[in-house]
Amino acid sequence: MKTALVTGAAKGIGYETARQLAKRGFRVFLTARDRQAGEAAAARLAGLAGPVEFVHLDVADAAGVGHAAAEIAHRTDALDVLVNNAGIILDGDDAIATVALPVVRKTLETNTLGPLAVAQAFLPLLQASRHPRVINVSSGGGQLSEGMGTWSPAYCLSKTALNAVTALLAAALPGIAVNAVCPGWVRTDMGGEGAPRSVEEGADTIVWLATKASPEQTGFFWRDRQVIPW
């Protein structure tokens, strides 16, 4: 049975990704920083083709990331798929000229350093898989080539840096398929009710990269199963 870990998976795109992977028979480690919400989410996903197990993981807590990796290493010999999904947009992330640096720092800690720390901590388990895959959930807001806008500058900066983390990991780890995904604008707590995409649509390319994409495809940025410019 293949194994997958999804961060920030108690709701939104992460929850839907965990659901779709369990439906396809993956053993899923559903992780969240809120224990109660994570346990409830895992319980709701019981009875699918693959088991869903809650593990506490706050991606911005370096010690906690290490503890989660140790706990999962007790439960499995290998990790086939890591989905770095957890992400935040903080209040006050409104304008690059005035945004408070603590807001920028906290956003980078969660959205950029979090995925890097998780990838580092789970590297031994990933390297024990035959075809390991790391999928970083990024955003078109981090795209440099399309021209930067003005909304949520700390968030956009964190996703540009996450894209760089993706490319650097892909270059350094040729045995692992490491890719970034923009899910599009999705109806979640982050995306809001007016977003055009469902969570099913938002999770589609993530799940495709986790299951069907060629393991040779690494170091790319994807949307709708197509490579897009950084």
Determine whether 47 is exposed, middle or buried from the number of CB atoms within 10 Å of its CB (0-12, 13-18, 19+): exposed
Per-residue string for binding with ligand NAP, 209-228, x by CB under 6 A?
Answer: --------------------
Residue 82: what residue type?
Answer: L
Cβ neighbours of residue 111 closer than 8 Å, sequence gap 6 or more: 87, 88, 155, 158, 159, 161, 162
Q: Judged by CB under 6 A, does residue 86 bind ligand NAP?
A: yes
Q: What residue has token string 């959930």? A: 137
Residue closest to 86 by CA, chosen among 37, 129, 128: 37
> 22-51 mask for ligand NAP (x: CB under 6 A)?
----------xxx-----------------
Which of 2, 11, 15, 155 is flagged as catalytic?
155
Q: Does 93 bind ligand NAP (CB under 6 A)?
A: no
Rounded to the nearest whole angstrom, what is the least distance from the CB of residue 18 to ligand NAP in the complex?
Answer: 11
Q: Which is nearer to ligand NAP, 125 or 156 (CB)?
A: 156
Regarding 11 and contact with ligand NAP (CB under 6 A), the answer is yes
Q: Which residues of 65-77 are buried (b: 16+ CB within 10 A; e: fewer)?
A: beebbeebbeebe
CA distance 80 to 223: 22
Give the nearest distance from C-beta 95 to ligand NAP in angstroms. 19
115 binds ligand NAP (CB under 6 A): no
Among positions 10, 165, 169, 170, the unique one binding ligand NAP when judged by CB under 6 A: 10
Helical (H) or strand (E) element with 150: none
Q: Which 136-195 residues touch ligand NAP, going by CB under 6 A?
A: 137, 139, 182-183, 185-186, 188-191, 195
Q: Is 15 a catalytic residue?
A: no
Q: Shortest approach of ligand NAP to residue 216 CB, angstroms?
A: 25
Nearer of residues 10 and 173 to ligand NAP, judged by Cβ = 10
Spatial contact of 223 and 205, defined as CB atoms under 8 Å apart = yes
For ligand NAP, which is the closer residue by CB, 23 or 56? 56
Question: Which residue, 61, 17, 11, 62, is CA-closest to 38?
Answer: 11
CA dihedral 43, 84, 86, 115 (to 10 degrees): 130
| Residue ranges in contact with ligand NAP by CB under 6 A | 7-8, 10-14, 32-34, 58-60, 85-88, 110, 114, 137, 139, 182-183, 185-186, 188-191, 195
**Residues designated catalytic:** 155, 159
